[in-house]
Structure 1
Amino acid sequence: MQDRFDIERRTVLKSLGVLGAGGLGLTSSLTGVASAYEGALASFYEFEGTTAADSSGNGYDGTVSGASPGASGIAGDCFSFDAGDAVDVPHPLSGASSGAYSVWVNATALGEDKAILGDWPSADTSMWYDVGDDVWGFAARLGGTLQKVTGGSPSVGDWTHLVATFGGGTLRLFVDGTEVDSTSASGQLATHGNIQLGGDEGDHGYWDGRLDQVRTYARSLSAAEVSTLYENPGSAELTSSDSVTDIAFSNQGLAFDPAQQSYSPGDEFIFPSIIETSKIANPLGKYHLYCAPHGTSATKDGETVGVALFYSDTLGDGSWTEYAGNPIIDPSDFSGVSHISSPHAIFADEYGKVLLYAHGDNHVTRWWYDSGDDGATFDYGGDAVDTSMYSGSSESSYARVYEYSIPNRSNRYTMFFMSNQGGTRHIRFATSTDGKNWTVDPDEVISPQPEHDGNVSGPFFFRYDGMYCLAFHTSDGNQWVAEVGENIDMENHLGMFNQATSGSPDGGRCSSPFLVTDDGGTPWLYYESNTRLDAAIGVERLTDSDDAANLSLFDLS
């Protein structure tokens, strides 16, 4: 398994060309950050030599108080601890809302509670062996509330890998690469400038045995990342770029110029959705791109706000052609509806037809089916999800649908969509056996974190190196990513997925991510570029072959 923790800030040259005959003439370039993934490894103690030097490069060197160097470790040498020995180290996770602790332990004796690390005088943070239940434990005060996770089968004389990770509303404990316990927990970790290794300055006894490869991370870790640490105990650098938060994209500019289209209310298009059309009887091109403006006829100079279709035989050269019959769907069929927007298309194999989902107005997501077998002619099917199906929301919009059966459910289709609880947007999901009739799950999938600046929306579901992930946009103007698990029962926020360019074309905002792969295996990221109500469809190409190999998309065609 490849290592995936990059402690360097990764930058790529983004060439901002224009795609298509009606392009905007952008030829500038800039060095931008491919993701906000920098310095996830906060501190690292290899315990080689006689000092507790921090190998992360962040300067968190510790002070040895009695612990003996030179013992045989899981990787090279390590420190042994006995009768009050400890190592005092600075605590980079003090006050953090997400993070992780990773340590290899080997016990000489387990006859009483034994602290591994922590700061426990005020019962704030501790990883320890719990003699009462004969389990490993981790406890932390998050948001002012003490939370605890326990598990595993401790033994004397064996190396065991322990990871505690918190963030995204959940605290988890992993033992030897396997999650053994989790609990709901949110808020900031209690503040303390130092922690002990080999003790916790509290009522748990000092560690009796060896410790090695002690790490802290400035964000929560995914199950796949924990597995990598377990399977590679001696990998000290962990600097390869194979992380979903460090995918390299090259910005290709805009798919087409909104101002050059015949149908272009307000010269704005959002929420791209692309299908490959080989299963459609009479397609317009190899690829169909569905998108839409947003707003009302009053804000769009009297024009109808509906769904637009473009087609092309390629993904990367900007040769998108506007469909002459745009808009293919508009609000005229519905009384009192001001707009139809955020289209998402999927070819449903069981029907042999394209199903298209869009909202209008924002309280309801509707569905249509391709009655013309051309991917352009649609008849209305009905409401898919609306706010009456669950409590507390004024919106049910910006939905994407996947033919994905959740293992512990009996559904065939899974929908992710945006809800609005009192002005705060979350991402929820719904399930269906037929793509038409839906059941909304009572639990939210993604809730906004402090770094998101208020709201989350525009979900896109995919897999990366075995992880089931949602990419989404937030109020801060960037795209972020979280691990949600194959049962959609996790919320492990991983970091930034794609950062908006500060200048053209994004103007500080990129949203509504949509990934698609061409026949040559090259992934492309289509997205909503630039400020709201002045947006266009942006295009980026994934440039790293390892990232492309790790990426697995659900087939929408």
Structure 2
Amino acid sequence: MVRAAAGEFKGLPGKDVDVTIPLRYDAGMRLRYRLPCVMTFIVAGIAAAEPNVPAGLPVFKHHSIVLDYKDLKYNPCNDVIIPSVIRTEHLDKPLGRYYLYYAPHNAPGGICLAYADRLEGPWKEYEANPIIRKDWPPHYSVSHVSGPEAVWVEEEHELFLYYHGENNVTRLASSVDGVHFQYERVAITAAMFDRSIEASYARVFRYTLPGRDNRWIMLLMGNCQGTRNIYLAWSKDGRTWEPRREPLLTPPPGTSQVAQAWYLPWQGKQYLIYHAHEARDKTYASLHISEVDPAFEHTRHLGVFCDRRSFSPDNVAQMSPCFIAEGNRLYLFTNVGPRLNQKIALAIAEIP
């Protein structure tokens, strides 16, 4: 039996599995390790939803709150969300080994930066946040900007940072140091998708779709008649994007909204990890998992990947997953707590 922060979890005997972690995580390293096949969380005498995921996927243990709005100099909304964590080895004069981009949800928002030498922290707030504001003359003036997503583009030798503002536009800025950015362009708009009025909370991954001449895919949230779905777009250069107009993933049974999908290739299969709001009460949100085919045309819901109560017995939401590997650990950053009043949390899966 292993002790977890929010209670106990019991595992069946493990088995050897091969894991391929993509370039985004740790230079394409290949690992072999043992993990329990099935986990059941027991929290405060109430069983959290049992993950219904393939054997061998990592099981995370809550580590800490790594970013609390109460400790921040720039804190317009008592809220921090959408962690995007990168290594800084390619950046000019990095402040630390890792950068964490984040933002408040509501106006005025603002894309912010924290840095650290260890993924566990301590994370230090950049002194001049926000690094991207809601007004960037002559390019735009909006009510807020939020939803940062940072990826290193080797062909450009630049960091691309995607963010939205307003909710119907995803924008792109670039940087050589990860701190000072130049505006690039509008990357995606809601008009590129059928019946959607939003195009926000993008995640971007290096992946070539079969039969297409692309290097990148974007998973983003759209809003079709009040229902948030996950949509797909692809690009060769990270600047100009071609959309698939219909949703890739819709809310699974028992949920009402989905957002913030993360692409996780594992043991030769493709998975999406995302948060979904419960249909009975949208206050509650947990991380779910779906399998997707290599062409990103069909998805199959597998169940709950990480129940919100695995963080703490009274936690109402766990959202916006961001994974990064380091050594024999896989790190999961999320925002937790009540929507519009959240903090950034870290959970870790050990890889013996």
Could you state the TM-score of these two structures normalised by the residue count of structure 2? 0.83
C-alpha separation in 1, matches of 2:166 and 2:263:
24
Please tell me whether the aligned partners of residues 338 and 360 of structure 1 are also in contact (alpha carbons under 8 angstroms).
yes
Amino acid at match of 1:494: L
Name the residue aligned to 1:492: 300
Matched residue, 1:356: 161
In the alignment, the residues of structure 1 paired with residue 223 and residue 333 of structure 2 have an alpha-carbon distance, to the nearest angstrom, of 25
The alpha-carbon deviation at position 407 of structure 1 amounts to 2.2
Q: Contact 2:248 / 2:298 at 8 angstroms: preserved in 1?
A: yes
Residue number in structure 2 paired with 1:332 = 135
Residue pair 1:33, 1:499 contacting (<8 A) in 2 also: no
Change (3 A) 1:314 1:305: same
Query: What is the DSSP-based 3-state SS (H/G/I as helix, E as strand, rest coil) of the residue aligned with 1:455?
Result: strand
Whether contact under 8 Å (1:505, 1:538) holds in the other structure is no
SS at match of 1:450: coil
- Partner residue of 2:182? 379
Deviation at 1:468, TM superposition (A): 0.7
CA deviations on 1:352-382 (whole Å, 9 max, x unpaired) are: 0100000101001100000xx2111011111
Q: 1:325 to 1:451 in 2, by over 3 A?
A: same
1:363-374 pair list within 5 angstroms: 363-370=168-175, 373-374=176-177
**Separation in 1 of the partners of 2:64 and 2:46?**
14
Query: Which residue matches 2:251?
Result: 448
Q: Give, in angstroms, the shift of residue 268 of structure 1.
A: 0.9
Aligned-partner Cα distance in 1 for 2:205–2:158: 14
Q: Structure 1 506/469 Cα, relative in aligned 2: closer, same or farther at 3 Å?
A: farther
Q: Report the CA distance between 1:462 and its aligned residue.
A: 1.2
> Given the alignment, which residue of 267, 283, 289 partners 1:465?
267
Within the alignment, does 1:278 sit opposite 2:89 as a pair? Answer: yes
The Cα of 1:283 is off from its aligned counterpart by 1.2
Residue deviations 1:96-130 (CA, integer Å, cap 9, x gap): xxxxxxxxxxxxxxxxxxxxxxxxxxxxxxxxxxx
Counterpart CA distance in 1 for 2:154 and 2:308 is 36
Residue aligning to 2:203: 400
Letter aligned with residue 245 of structure 2: P
Alignment of 1:151-300 (within 5 A): 241-242=55-56, 244=57, 247-296=58-107
Alpha-carbon distance, 1:281 to partner: 2.1
Shift of residue 8 of structure 1?
Answer: 6.2
Bigger relative contact order, structure 1 or 2 (CA pairs below 8 A, ≥6 apart)? 2
Structure 2 distance, partners of 1:458, 1:506, is 22
1:390 counterpart (175, 182, 193): 193
Larger radius of gyration: 1
What TM-score, normalized to structure 1? 0.53
Q: 1:430 aligns with which of 233, 239, 259?
A: 233
Per the alignment, residue 28 of structure 2 pairs with none
Cα–Cα, structure 1 residues 433 and 487, in superposed 2: closer, same or farther, change >3 Å?
Answer: same
In the TM superposition, residue 436 of structure 1 has moved relative to its aligned partner by 0.4
Q: Work out the percentage of aligned pairs sharing the same amino acid.
A: 32
Give the distance between the partners of 1:381 and 1:281, measured in 2 at CA. Answer: 19
Q: Is the 8 A contact 2:193 2:246 kept in 1?
A: no
Structure 1 residues 449 and 287, CA, compared in 2 at 3 Å: closer, same or farther?
A: same
Structure 1 residue 406: Cα displacement: 1.2
Contact 2:77 2:104 in 1 (8 A): yes
Matching of residue 37 in structure 1 with residue 51 in structure 2: yes
Residue 161 (structure 1) aligns with = none
Counterpart of 2:144, as a letter, is H
Q: How far is the alpha carbon of 1:7 from its aligned partner?
A: 9.0
Residue aligned with 1:394, SS: strand
How far has the Cα of 1:34 moved from its partner? Answer: 7.8
Paired with 1:7 and 1:248, the residues of 2 have a C-alpha distance of 9
The amino acid across from 2:273 in the alignment is A
Instruction: Please give the secondary structure, in 2, of the residue aligned with 1:478.
Output: strand
Contact 2:80–2:102 at 8 Å: present in 1 too? yes
Look up the SS of the partner of 2:150 in the other structure: strand
Contact 2:203-2:261 within 8 A present in 1 as well: yes
CA drift of 1:445 comes to 1.2
Instruction: Select 1:508's aligned residue among 309, 316, 328.
Output: 316
Partner SS, residue 501 of structure 1: helix
**Larger strand share, 1 or 2:** 2
Which consecutive unaligned segments of at least 5 residues does structure 2 have?
A: 1-14, 18-33, 279-284
**Paired residue total:** 314
Deviation at 1:459, TM superposition (A): 0.7
